[in-house]
Amino acid sequence: MNVPSEFQDKFDKMMVVGQLTKECLVRLQRFIEPGISTRDIDTFVRVFAKHHDLELAQLNYKGFPAACCTSVNHVICHGIPSVKKILKNGDIIKVDCTFIKDGYYGDSCRTYFVDDVKIKIFNLVNTTSESMWAGITQAKPGNTIRNISTAIQLCAEAKGFSVVRDFCGHGIGAFFHGPPSVPHYVDEHLGNWQAYNYELQPGDTFTIEPMINADKPNYKTLKDGWTVVTRDRGWSAQFEHTIGILNDGNVVFTL
């Protein structure tokens, strides 16, 4: 990695925690199947963290009551694991995990198929992944956040899907959430909103995590204060990676 020397220790530690976050999500691929509950997934994440000496960043974060977010079908994000929520054939589930090791954070999310899904949902999930990678490709020194946001939005909307507003990527490192904000769409009404104009610098570390809806982008938050769902009950997908800006491009810590 062509890392500025002053950021080498930071990048090394973020690679370690990022790779462990990836390993957890890869192992979940073999665990997720019809008949398990979303609480079973939460237990899996807790056990993984214990075995690898990781702290659970999401547990009790601003009162969040679980080790990970489990968001099924029309739940966009921040779904709370429950023994009552049982996965069935044809579902999709977003699992968002964040671990801490040696003071640094690794944050990633994947959307999983629960056996066979309808073709529209298959395309939604694949497009969401493609949108994330379109954004990551634009993450390099000299580009701005606007380059990332535009690439994601163009990719998603070209396939007939919509980008969720308000929820965005974020700076991460020895902290969970901070600058820069990374919107996944461009709203021209915001004009020269500061986030869009931020020029990426070597050493920057942040997440790119588009949430893409099958239908309209509108959402609401349920009474639990966490669970975010689509207003039209259309399904939603999400992918997320934690990345760092190098002198000549980027590195994906959670890949």
Q: Is the pLDDT of residue 146 over 70?
A: yes
The neighbour count for residue 84, using CB atoms within 10 Å, is 7
Residue 145 CB burial class (10 angstroms; 0-12, 13-18, ≥19): buried
CATH number at residue 150: 3.90.230.10
Confidence of residue 223 (pLDDT cuts 50, 70, 90): very high
pLDDT at 18 exceeding the cut of 90: yes
For residue 4, what pLDDT is reported? 87
Query: 147: which residues sit within 8 A by CB, 6+ positions away?
Result: 138
- What pLDDT sits at residue 190? 56
- Mean pLDDT to the nearest integer, 189-199: 73
* Cα–Cα distance for residue pair 149/196, rounded to 1 Å: 8
The confidence score (pLDDT) of residue 189 equals 62
Q: Is residue 193 very low, low, confident or very high in pLDDT (cuts 50, 70, 90)?
A: low
What CA–CA distance (Å, rounded) separates 31 from 97? 15
pLDDT single digits (tens) 35-52: 999 999 999 999 999 999
Enclosing domain of residue 130? 5-252
Residue 255 predicted with pLDDT over 60 = yes
Predicted confidence band of residue 148 (pLDDT cuts 50, 70, 90)? very high
How many domains is the chain partitioned into structurally? 1
The whole-number pLDDT of residue 253 equals 98
Query: Does the pLDDT value for residue 200 go beyond 60?
Result: yes
Mean pLDDT of the chain: 96
Residue 203, phi-psi category: left (phi > 0), alpha (psi -120 to 50), beta (remainder): left
Tell me the pLDDT tens digit for each residue of 160-191: 999 999 899 999 999 999 999 999 999 866 55
pLDDT class of 125 with cuts at 50, 70, 90: very high
Banded model confidence at residue 192, pLDDT cuts 50, 70, 90: low
3 has pLDDT over 70 = yes
Nearest Cα to Cα of residue 153 among 171, 172, 119, 130: 130
